[in-house]
Amino acid sequence: MAKGNINVSVENIFPLIKKFLYNDHEIFLRELVSNATDATLKLKHLSNIGETKVEYGNPIIEIKINKEDKTLHIIDQGIGMTEEEVQKYINEVAFSGAEDFISKHKDAEKEGIIGHFGLGFYSAFMVADKVEIITKSYTDAPAVQWVCDGSPQFDLGPSDKKDRGTEIILHIAEDSSEFLEEYKIRELLLKYNRFMPIPIKFGTKEETLPLPEGADKDAKPEKVIVDDIINNPNPAWTKSPSELKDEDYKAFYHELYPMQFDEPLFYIHLNVDYPFHLTGILFFPKLANNLNLDKDKIQLYQNQVFVTDEVKGIVPDFLMLLRGVIDSPDIPLNVSRSYLQADGAVKKISSYITKKVADKMVSLINENREDFEKKWNDIKVVIEYGMISEEKFYEKSDKFALYPTVDHIYYTFDELKDKIKDQQTDKDGKLVILYASNLDEQDQYIQTAKQKGYEVLLLDSPIVPHLIQKLETSKENISFVRVDADHINNLIKKDENTVSILTDEEKETLKKEIEENIDSKTYTISLENLSKEDAPFILTQPEFMRRMKDMQQVGGGMFGMMGNFPETYNLVINTNSPLASEILKKDNKGEKASIIKQALDLAKLSQNILKGKDLTDFIKRSYEMIK
């Protein structure tokens, strides 16, 4: 039995591994199963290129718990190790066997060899106070056994193992006894290894065989005990899109997220070989009534090994509401393979994903416009956020971004422009796009605009203020105005003049009378010569002020630092309304004040801002008027 010291560059690396390298001790199982997978895939590669006559067969990885001995076993049927290889790959900490293998066999990377750092094996010492390796190489070399108790000393000697492959035996430490529980190991295998490329056996299960054709009606199906293979070695994202149907994508979505009962709206299959390797499938979920946005996230894999579902950086912010899988061996991870490191490759991958999503949106709207329109409300926040935050995405958005009207007609921007340019171009040649954010609250203004023959968009997502700001600054000679921002004649100014029935002197008197009976800090009064059919008092909020307030509410960068905007409104007085003349005629100051307050409250009521004591006073005053 040989004895020796593990070659490390510090006095004792194990405390460092245990305390600092891995934040989460459960990672040990991911690392050891990944090593077992590597060993199996190496053998497959050597077999494929004819460097070994050993029959590859149908190898599996087996995980076993022995509660009596307090051991956990990870057993593979892979390439195994000779005594020299144990010395080289186990006793030289941070000498990665995978990297050494890939350097000799350049094509091996295509086989999905996982390891990069050579430290994964030592994560075992986070949960074990002794680790054994029993291994036999695929060559004729004799089997060997390696034993270490977590100190730099090890024992290395012969073993009577007959079959090729490696068995890792962890003697679980007292403070890690949870890893001897079946439910815990199953949970970890399903979390990290459920899509590993080699079948993973964890115990057995009972299955019922289907009855053969023509079986007697009283025949009972036979039950058999089979290996419990807990992973799917060939998940959808590893296949070519030509191999998959819509049902396959939907089935994979529910395999990823078993608690999601809605079908995904769309899916995007990612597959790129240059300038980086990346595969994956992204799904647009139904967002409207979803309560699991924080729970069901995009999952990041590296060669089918789960890394994290914190994918900020590699996935653009606007796509963080999507679900699915991204798998890339080129994603730079920290040494414990637990999180992303900042890198130029990450930005390239993020740009690629953005482009693929934009291209998918173009194809979807071209292939089935009607279906795309039906799903618009479920995806619009993602699309609109992308238009604001990703310039490359915005540049393509005119081909698929939709602008629905209050009558549920959907236009692309160019279609909208062609539809409204004759009616909604003002006297200065600017195209004015009217929109509403709430059908019920702004109905009065919507109907007035429609009577003029104008189209009114329904833009009701929370980020609309930012979106229209983006559109106004990037497109020429357009402006968006909410339909209740002013009287319709002022929203789209034409070369039309309406004569007032009041003299200039009467107008001044009317304005003074109203100013005396309202709060001058909240309302800015303007007199307009409107038609007799228009409301006598019209309350509007300036587009700029309202938009800044909306931006502030959803987090508007500089707008969030400007403090709260005051509640200010324009009060438009229709000088041609019968009520304007009635106010001027009244001699009784009390009656005059009552009429002005009533008209103002009616205007506030139309804007849904009459509340509290003002509403109570309005109701009381209204009853007194009809006594």
Residue 174 tokens, joined: 């007292």
3-state SS, residue 394: helix
Residue partners of 613: CB distance under 8 A and separation at least 6: none
> CA-to-CA distance for 627 and 623, rounded, in angstroms?
6
Question: Which run of H or E residues covers position 36?
Answer: helix 27-48
**CA 76 to CA 134: how far, in whole Å?**
11
404 backbone dihedrals φ, ψ, rounded to 5°: -80, 145
Pairing between strand 200-208 and 61-66? Answer: parallel
CA distance 550 to 315: 27
Both tokens of 389, joined, read: 């935050």
CA angle 501, 449, 531 (to 5 degrees): 10
Reading phi first (left if > 0) and then psi (alpha if -120 to 50, else beta), residue 80 is in: left
Using CA atoms, how far apart are residues 290 and 194, in angstroms rounded to an integer? 25
Consult the annotation and say whether 4 binds a ligand.
no
| DSSP 8-state class, residue 70 | T
Contact criterion met (CB below 8 Å) for 40 and 61: yes
Tell how far CA 239 is from the center of its chain.
23
CA atoms within 13 Å, Cβ hemisphere of 231: 27
Q: Is 146 helix (H, G, I), strand (E, B) or coil?
A: strand
337 annotated as a binding-site residue: yes
Nearest Cα to Cα of residue 12 among 76, 93, 68: 93
Which residue type is seen at 103? Answer: S
Cα–Cα dist 280/237, whole Å: 5
Peptide bond into 542 cis (omega under 30): no
Nearest to 261 by CA among 291, 233, 297, 299: 291
Looking at beta carbons, which pairs linking 354-358 to residues 24 or more positions away fall under 8 Å? 354/316, 354/319, 354/386, 354/390, 354/392, 354/393, 355/392, 356/268, 356/270, 357/268, 357/282, 357/319, 357/386, 357/393, 358/386, 358/392, 358/393, 358/396, 358/397, 358/400
Alpha-carbon distance of 329 to 36, in angstroms, equals 18
Q: Any binding-site annotation on 97?
A: yes
Q: Are 537 and 578 in contact (CB under 8 A)?
A: no
Angle made by CA atoms 139, 140, 146, in degrees to the nearest 5: 80
Q: Is-contact 511 527, C-beta < 8 A?
A: yes
- Output the CA torsion sign for 55, 58, 61, 67: negative
| Residues written for the chain | 627
> Tokens standing for 467?
């979106």
Has 35 been labeled as part of a binding site? yes
**99 annotated as belonging to a binding site for a ligand:** no
Two tokens, residue 490? 């002022």
Q: How far is CA 278 from CA 41, 194, 235, 379, in A?
A: 19, 19, 15, 25
Residue 76 labeled ligand binder? yes
Among 413, 417, 388, 391, smallest CA distance to 402 is for 413
CB 388 within 8 A of CB 463: yes
Residues flagged as binding site = 31, 35, 76, 81, 96-97, 166, 337
Residues flagged as binding site for ATP = 31, 35, 76, 81, 96-97, 166, 337
